[in-house]
Structure formats: structure tokens, C-alpha cells
């Protein structure tokens, strides 16, 4: 009986390996928390197909969507220890593991899409992808996650004053919590997978996210006001655990990086299309879209920059470098 149990455990361990190398084929497990209609999932499937094509089948990526292997935070922890090979995580949630990622959560840091693109594709973006290596996390590329805005159940947000007395779901990010407090709302960190029910039951009055996620999560069914204050532009980061990366040979690393870079270009094209489609569908579903003046929101969040400069001067240097690229 004891021997049978040990054999069972061994078989389980092998089946859960993040990076399997039977014969001359390497298989990496890649998991995420979004559904299969999301542009991120489609980009991951594209990456997997391209990696297989480039390697003549010798590098395989198996994609697990819909929180099959855990929530976003749980997946990142599994990547750290090597139980899962790769994942996608918002840079806002990643700040809990890689302190430098805090900069992306600063409200109104980027002027426009060209500004953030120059940061992500330049020297700063590359530095930040590798900043997680001391924490067993290596960034491969960035995915577009658009602009985050507020959506609410009972009334629109037309100025920061409207957030007073509201419980607003935010990511498990200290920067997101600070932003919400500065704007006058009550930040409520809740797992994204639990948010629909929390909105439905009145645990929170609203949340904030980009248009495609607002659509694919079906939050528009319970939150009928979408106020485009566009407070942050948080990129997603495609992450591989260093334990898995270091186990790949040089050629495999090259195939994977090329596939990841190409998938980012593909994902951006999907994202533009998904945003247009999202606005069309949510309006048809009766969601009221508002365009508040961003000035009062910018003014209310200025204090975050000063606090950041005082308390984290080294990381604040990144902020200045980013601002100088405008």
C-alpha cells in the first residue's frame, strides 16, 4: 500500500511539472485567469502555435485559461516555485512581487498610447521585464491592457466627489488602494473571479477596468454606468519563472522569446478590435458611457506623486525618466 501511494505521488508530481522534457520535446504549462474569448488568451494560443512552428514541435506550450490552475496571484506564486511555467499578470498586481512595477500604477503617468509604447519598447521597459529575476520571475513581453476607468451600479462617476461613500473594487495593489483613497472612494481589494457576485450582491458599488475586460467578465450586466476617466494605463506582463527559463537551452529560449514578441504584436491588433467591439456591445446592452473632465481627477491624485518621491526616491527616478519621454 505504501509503495503504491509513493508511486501515485511520483506520477502526480510528473503530471504537474511546469516544464516537461520527454525525449527531445519541451512542454511548458502556461495558465491565466481570463476566459477564452479574451484577447490575452487568443494571443497566448498564437504564441503556443508559433513556438511549436518555429521549433518543429520541439517546444510546446499548453495554455490553461479560466483560473483552471488558480487565480492571478496564485498563478504567479506557482510560477515562482516552478509548478507552473508561465502566466500573464497585470503590472498592478505584479508590484506586490516586483517593487519597481509600482510606477505603472501611478494615475495619469502616461500622456497617450505613443508615450506608453515608447516606455515599454525602450530601455525602461526592458529593465522592468528583468527586474523580477531576483524574485524568480522573468518578464518576456508586455500585452496591451488599455486604459482603466470606473464602472458603477447606481450612478455615474462624473467627478471625484461622486466616489464619496462608494466601495470600489481595486486590484490587490497598494498603489491602486492609495489612488482610490485620494479620489475619495473606499478601496476594496477583491479577486477578479469573485467580482461579478460582489457587484450583484452589493458588496461593492463599482470597480475599474478596461472595456474588453468589462465586457468579457459580463460585469456590464450589473454595472450600468461606465465613466471614462482613464486613470491608469497598466500593461499586462507575460511572465516565465526563472526556474523554467534557466532549464531551457539557448535555442529554446530564443524560440520562446521570438514567439512571445510576435504574440505581443498580434495581441495589440486584437486589443484595438476588442475595444471597439466592447463599446458597441455594452452600449447596446444599456450601459451609459460618460466622459468626465479628467482635470479634477488629476488634481486629486497629485499627492500620490509627492508621497512616492519622499518614500521611494530610488523608484521615483523611474517616474522622472518616464515623464521625460513625453
Extract long-range pairs of 245-253: CB within 8 Å, 24+ residues apart: 245/138, 247/19, 247/21, 248/19, 248/26, 252/26, 252/55, 252/58, 252/59
Q: What pLDDT is attached to residue 12?
A: 41
In the chain, pLDDT over 70 holds for what percent of residues?
93
Nearest CA-CA partner of 100 in 175, 25, 167? 175
Q: pLDDT at position 287, please?
A: 98
pLDDT confidence tier of residue 206, bands split at 50, 70 and 90? very high
- Locate 221 and state its grid cell: 450586466
pLDDT in tens, 129-180: 999 999 999 999 999 999 999 999 999 999 999 999 999 999 888 889 999 9
What percent of the chain is modeled with pLDDT above 90?
Answer: 82
Residue 133, by phi and psi: left (phi above 0), alpha (psi -120 to 50) or beta?
alpha
Domains of the chain: 148-233+282-318 (3.40.190.170)
Q: How confident is the model at residue 92, as a pLDDT?
A: 87
| Alpha helices, H only, 95-237 | 113-120, 123-130, 174-183, 195-200, 211-216
Q: What is the mean pLDDT of residues 286-315?
A: 93
pLDDT value, residue 71 = 87
Q: What pLDDT is recorded for position 7?
A: 35
Positive or negative CA dihedral for 229, 43, 80, 116? Answer: negative
The greatest distance separating any two alpha carbons of the chain, rounded to the nearest whole angstrom, comes to 70
CA torsion 198→201→203→206, rounded to 10°? 70
Q: Which grid coordinates belong to 225?
A: 454606468
Contact 75, 31 (CB under 8 A): yes
Task: Report the predicted TM-score, pTM, of the whole model to 2 decimal places.
Answer: 0.86
Q: What is the DSSP letter of 38?
A: S
Judged against a pLDDT cut of 80, whether residue 268 lies above it is answered with yes
Q: Which residue has the cell 473606499?
A: 186
Q: 22 pLDDT band (50/70/90 cuts)?
A: low
Query: What mean pLDDT value characterizes the chain?
Result: 91
Please tell me the predicted confidence (pLDDT) of residue 168.
98
Tell whether the torsion through CA atoms of 79, 84, 85 and 86 is positive or negative: negative
Amino acid at each position: 500500500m505504501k509503495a503504491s501511494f509513493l508511486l501515485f505521488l511520483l506520477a502526480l508530481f510528473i503530471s504537474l511539472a511546469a516544464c516537461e522534457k520527454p525525449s527531445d520535446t519541451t512542454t511548458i504549462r502556461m495558465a491565466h485567469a481570463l476566459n477564452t474569448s479574451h484577447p490575452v488568451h487568443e494571443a497566448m494560443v498564437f504564441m503556443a502555435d508559433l513556438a511549436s512552428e518555429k521549433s518543429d514541435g520541439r517546444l510546446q506550450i499548453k495554455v490553461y485559461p479560466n483560473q483552471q490552475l488558480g487565480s492571478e496571484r496564485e498563478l504567479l506564486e506557482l510560477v515562482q516555485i516552478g509548478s507552473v511555467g508561465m502566466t500573464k499578470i497585470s503590472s498592478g498586481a505584479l508590484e506586490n512581487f516586483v517593487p519597481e512595477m509600482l510606477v505603472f500604477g501611478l494615475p495619469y503617468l502616461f500622456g497617450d498610447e505613443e508615450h506608453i509604447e515608447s516606455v515599454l519598447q525602450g530601455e525602461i521597459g526592458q529593465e522592468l521585464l528583468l527586474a523580477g529575476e531576483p524574485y524568480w520571475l522573468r518578464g518576456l513581453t508586455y500585452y496591451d491592457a488599455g486604459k482603466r476607468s470606473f464602472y458603477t451600479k447606481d450612478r455615474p462617476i462624473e467627478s471625484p466627489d461622486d466616489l464619496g461613500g462608494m466601495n470600489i473594487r481595486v486590484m490587490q495593489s497598494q498603489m491602486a488602494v492609495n489612488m482610490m483613497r485620494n479620489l475619495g472612494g473606499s478601496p476594496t481589494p477583491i479577486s477578479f473571479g469573485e467580482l461579478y457576485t460582489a457587484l450583484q450582491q452589493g458588496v461593492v458599488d463599482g470597480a475599474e477596468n478596461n472595456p474588453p475586460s468589462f465586457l468579457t467578465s459580463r460585469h456590464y450586466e450589473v454595472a450600468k454606468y461606465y465613466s471614462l476617466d482613464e486613470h491608469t494605463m497598466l500593461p499586462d506582463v507575460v511572465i516565465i519563472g526563472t526556474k523554467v527559463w534557466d532549464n531551457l537551452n539557448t535555442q529554446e529560449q530564443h524560440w520562446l522569446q521570438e514567439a512571445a514578441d510576435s504574440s505581443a504584436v498580434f495581441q495589440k491588433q486584437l486589443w484595438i478590435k476588442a475595444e471597439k467591439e466592447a463599446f458597441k456591445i455594452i452600449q447596446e446592452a444599456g450601459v451609459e458611457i460618460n466622459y468626465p473632465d479628467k482635470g479634477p481627477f488629476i488634481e486629486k491624485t497629485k499627492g500620490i506623486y509627492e508621497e512616492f518621491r519622499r518614500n521611494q526616491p530610488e523608484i521615483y527616478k523611474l517616474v522622472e525618466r518616464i515623464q521625460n519621454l513625453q
